[in-house]
Amino acid sequence: MIAGLFSLARPFLHALDPETAHQLTIRSLALLPPVSPPSDDPRLSVRALGRLIPNPVGLAAGFDKQCEVPDALLSLGFGFVELGGVVPRPQPGNPRPRVFRLERDEAIINRFGLNSEGLEAVRVRLLARKGRPGVVGVNIGANKDSGDRIGDYAACVAALDGLVDFLTVNVSSPNTPGLRDLQGEAFLDDLLARVSEARGDARAAIVLKIAPDIGLDALDAIVATALRRGVDALTVSNTTVARPASLRDAALARETGGLSGKPLFAPSTRLLAEAYLRVEGRMPLIGVGGVDSAEAAWTKIRAGASLIQLYTALVYKGPGLTADIKRGLVRCLEAERLNHIADVVGRDARTIAQGDFD
Ligand X SMILES: Cc1cc2nc3c(=O)[nH]c(=O)nc-3n(C[C@H](O)[C@H](O)[C@H](O)COP(=O)(O)O)c2cc1C
Query: Which residues are catalytic, by number?
Result: 173
Nearest to 54 by CA among 255, 329, 259: 329
How far, in Å, CA of 256 to CA of 195, rounded?
A: 30
Judged by CB, which is closer to ligand X: 55, or 170?
A: 170
Q: Does 110 bind ligand X (CB under 6 A)?
A: yes
How far, in Å, CA of 172 to CA of 26, rounded?
A: 24
Which residue in 290, 304, 318, 346 binds ligand X (CB under 6 A)?
A: 290
CB of 212 to ligand X, least distance (A): 9
Q: Does 311 bind ligand X (CB under 6 A)?
A: yes
Which one of the spans 148-156, 241-249, 304-312, 329-337 is the region binding ligand X (CB under 6 A)? 304-312
Judged by CB, which is closer to ligand X: 36, or 256?
A: 256
Q: How far is CA 101 from CA 43, 97, 104, 253, 288, in A?
A: 35, 11, 9, 10, 19
Nearest to 260 by CA among 294, 293, 290: 290
CB of 201 to ligand X, least distance (A): 26
CB of 103 to ligand X, least distance (A): 14
Which residues, 6+ apart, have CB-to-CB distance to 170 below 8 Å? 61, 84, 85, 139, 140, 141, 179, 209, 238
Judged by CB, which is closer to ligand X: 252, or 338?
A: 252
Q: Does 238 bind ligand X (CB under 6 A)?
A: yes
Backbone Cα Rg of the chain? 19
How far, in Å, CA of 72 to CA of 135, rounded?
A: 13
CB of 182 to ligand X, least distance (A): 13
Q: Does 264 bind ligand X (CB under 6 A)?
A: yes
Which one of the spans 42-50, 156-164, 193-201, 288-296 is the region binding ligand X (CB under 6 A)? 288-296
Which one of the spans 9-17, 154-162, 308-316, 330-338 is the region binding ligand X (CB under 6 A)? 308-316
Q: Does 85 bind ligand X (CB under 6 A)?
A: yes
Which one of the spans 50-58, 60-68, 150-158, 345-353 is the region binding ligand X (CB under 6 A)? 60-68
Judged by CB, which is closer to ligand X: 16, or 52?
A: 16
Q: Does 72 bind ligand X (CB under 6 A)?
A: no
How far, in Å, CA of 145 to CA of 190, rounded?
A: 20
Which residue in 170, 183, 299, 306 binds ligand X (CB under 6 A)?
A: 170
Q: What is the per-residue binding string for ligand X in 201-230, x denoting contact by CB under 6 A?
A: --------x---------------------
The burial class, CB within 10 Å (0-12 / 13-18 / 19+), for 85 is buried
Q: How far is CA 146 from CA 15, 48, 178, in A?
A: 37, 32, 11
Nearest to 71 by CA among 29, 12, 105: 29
Which residue in 54, 56, 62, 287 binds ligand X (CB under 6 A)?
A: 62
Helix/strand/coil percentages in the chain, nearest 5:
45, 15, 40
Which residues, 6+ apart, have CB-to-CB distance to 314 below 8 Å? 59, 63, 321
* Cβ(189)–Cβ(216) below 8 Å: no
How far, in Å, CA of 296 to CA of 278, rounded?
A: 22
CB of 33 to ligand X, least distance (A): 27
Which residue in 176, 183, 312, 322 binds ligand X (CB under 6 A)?
A: 312
Q: Does 349 bind ligand X (CB under 6 A)?
A: no
CB-based closest residue to ligand X: 62
How many C-alpha atoms does 148 have within 13 Å on its Cβ side?
8
Q: Which residues bind ligand X (CB under 6 A)?
A: 60-62, 65, 84-85, 99, 108, 110, 112, 114, 139, 170, 173, 209, 238-239, 260-261, 264, 288-291, 310-313
